[in-house]
Structure 1
Amino acid sequence: MAAAVPIAIRTAFVLGSTSEVAKAICRELAGRGCQRFHLVARNGEANQQLATELQHRFGASVSTETTDLLADAALEPARRPEVGEFDLYLITAGSLGDAELARSDAAEALRITAANYAGLLPWLTAIATPERIARPGRLWVFSSVAADRGRPSNYHYGAAKAALTAFCEGLLLRCHGKPFAVRIIKAGFMATPMTVGKAPLELCASPESVARDLLRRPNRRAIEYLPWWWSPLMLLIRLFPAPLASKL
């Protein structure tokens, strides 16, 4: 754990808190002086385990909440979640889903869309109010390099992440000149259970290294690739002609 460095993130709201990258970011934040967390995830037991760790290891104040993004996307009328007041809103929720099944099963295609985009809309709408963006704060949203180009192997996931990226880019531009900073992270492969067997190990960054990279510049507002070398790599991939791209 890095030595504590004073930064202006003392409270954090985390949606998708049981993801490996969220847990790494929470630990890094707590080690740097973040004192209060609200953790939102579908798996209540795993969420409580992280809460207990942050409380006992770092002395943080932690509250938890369970939600199902698939249900959030289907509610009519859409609910407005309570998101409270925090220095940082971190959105890491998402799921690859079953790409093979989604090719023939519209229900699975909709589940992937809900988990990676539609189910996040009630939360993002509740966060990005006119009152909140007029005050200092941060919104960090994890998208994916899969948003940059359709791939035959997981185009439902990529399409959902592309929609999330476009939506959050609109928020980023809406907040231009305002105290509230929006940051969109196009993450490449990470060494997590979600990518086991799906990505070469040499292309996988650790969640801990991603957390440290983010906190080197906690006030940044941008669309960025993590690790950085995904930016030139995805530029190259976007230039691939269709016959080559079809092999991705």
Structure 2
Amino acid sequence: MGQAARTPIRSSFVLGSTSEIAKAICHELARCGCRQFHLIARNQAGNEQLAEQLRNHYGAVVTQEQTDLLTDVALDGPGKPQVGNYDLYLITAGSLGDLELARNDATEALRITAANYSGLLPWLTAIATPERLSGPGRLWVFSSVAADLGRPSNYHYGAAKAALTAFCEGLQLRCQRKPFAVRTIKAGFMATSMTIGKAPKVLCVSPQSVARDLLRRPNRRGIEYLPWWWAQIMWFIRLLPAPFASRL
């Protein structure tokens, strides 16, 4: 396990690279010395913009790839994801979707599941090979505090994030005595377009502050809440009777 801790992050593979948190982490990684990035996102124009920033500001070598998690990705053959070899695999892809529509539309419910869990499985499977897990490396996966509790407002999203968390927890235990470190981040509200109008401003933190927190402790593994005080908030909410917790 100490071998992973001694390995600096010089190269990063980023799935969901046009999300606000991914962009903040990429800039923080570059400031800390990461000089190679492979960026994967659906929004090609946004991906190119981030790539240019990393090249121009930090002299990084950046490659790009376009994908859509809502389409089928083959587990074998030419459609199988190719993930290469990197010091860090960062998974930030996800989407709230149309939560009102999903209540009555199974297609939207499946889209939310694909964006936050099932569409990630081919990529996580390609990363978590026995050969890769036996060597030093890191996998950081963004889940959500929504995974902790079913709420009437976002239970499709929460269920998908809960499945992702359980998957990563199992993968983490698989790596318990290996140098490869799996880190699952249960993120609280961040000040991004995804949460504007949907979360109290007092509970929202900037993606930049979350990125700095991650890079202060780059060798952590296991499940963690960011910001840290979300662990206390969710502990308290889980103590509440279901009728009261469901109103939050």
Name the TM-score class by shorter chain.
over 0.9
Segments of 4+ moved more than 2 angstroms: 75-80
Equivalent position of 1:9 in the other structure: 9
Q: How does 1:66-85 map to 2 (within 5 A)?
A: 66-72=66-72, 75=74, 79-85=79-85
What amino acid is aligned across from residue 173 of structure 1 in structure 2? L
What amino acid is aligned across from residue 35 of structure 1 in structure 2? R
Structure 2 Cα separation of the partners of residues 246 and 62 of structure 1: 44
Equivalent position of 2:243 in the other structure: 243
Deviation at 1:204, TM superposition (A): 0.4
Contact 1:72 1:122 (8 Å CA) reproduced: no
In the superposition, the TM-score normalised over structure 1's length comes to 0.95
Contact 1:12 1:36 (8 Å CA) reproduced: yes
Q: Deviations over 1:205-244 (max 9, x none)?
A: 1000000000011011110000000001001111111210
Q: Does 1:51 align with 2:51?
A: yes
Equivalent position of 2:42 in the other structure: 42
Secondary structure at the aligned position of 1:62 is classed as: strand
Q: Deviations over 1:105-164 (max 9, x none)?
A: 000000000000000000000000000000100000000000000000000000000000
Contact 1:148 1:158 (8 Å CA) reproduced: yes
Q: Does 1:222 align with 2:222?
A: yes
- Matched positions, count: 242
Structure 1 Cα separation of the partners of residues 163 and 29 of structure 2: 28
Equivalent position of 1:61 in the other structure: 61
Contact 1:190 1:205 (8 Å CA) reproduced: yes
Deviation at 1:83, TM superposition (A): 0.2
Equivalent position of 1:231 in the other structure: 231
Contact 2:75 2:81 (8 Å CA) reproduced: no
Q: Does 1:174 align with 2:174?
A: yes
Secondary structure at the aligned position of 2:72 is classed as: helix
In the superposition, the TM-score normalised over structure 2's length comes to 0.95
Equivalent position of 2:165 in the other structure: 165
Structure 1 Cα separation of the partners of residues 122 and 156 of structure 2: 21
What amino acid is aligned across from residue 113 of structure 1 in structure 2? T
Structure 1 Cα separation of the partners of residues 75 and 143 of structure 2: 26
What amino acid is aligned across from residue 221 of structure 1 in structure 2? R
Q: How does 1:97-176 map to 2 (within 5 A)?
A: 97-176=97-176
Moved more, 78-87 or 143-152: 78-87
Q: Deviations over 1:55-88 (max 9, x none)?
A: 0011000000000001136x58684200000000
What amino acid is aligned across from residue 17 of structure 1 in structure 2? S
Contact 1:190 1:207 (8 Å CA) reproduced: yes
Flag structure 1 segments of 5+ consecutive residues without an equivalent: 1-5
Deviation at 1:7, TM superposition (A): 7.1
What amino acid is aligned across from residue 139 of structure 1 in structure 2? L
Deviation at 1:246, TM superposition (A): 2.4
Secondary structure at the aligned position of 2:71 is classed as: helix
Contact 1:23 1:50 (8 Å CA) reproduced: yes
Structure 2 Cα separation of the partners of residues 76 and 234 of structure 1: 36
Flag structure 2 segments of 5+ consecutive residues without an equivalent: 1-5
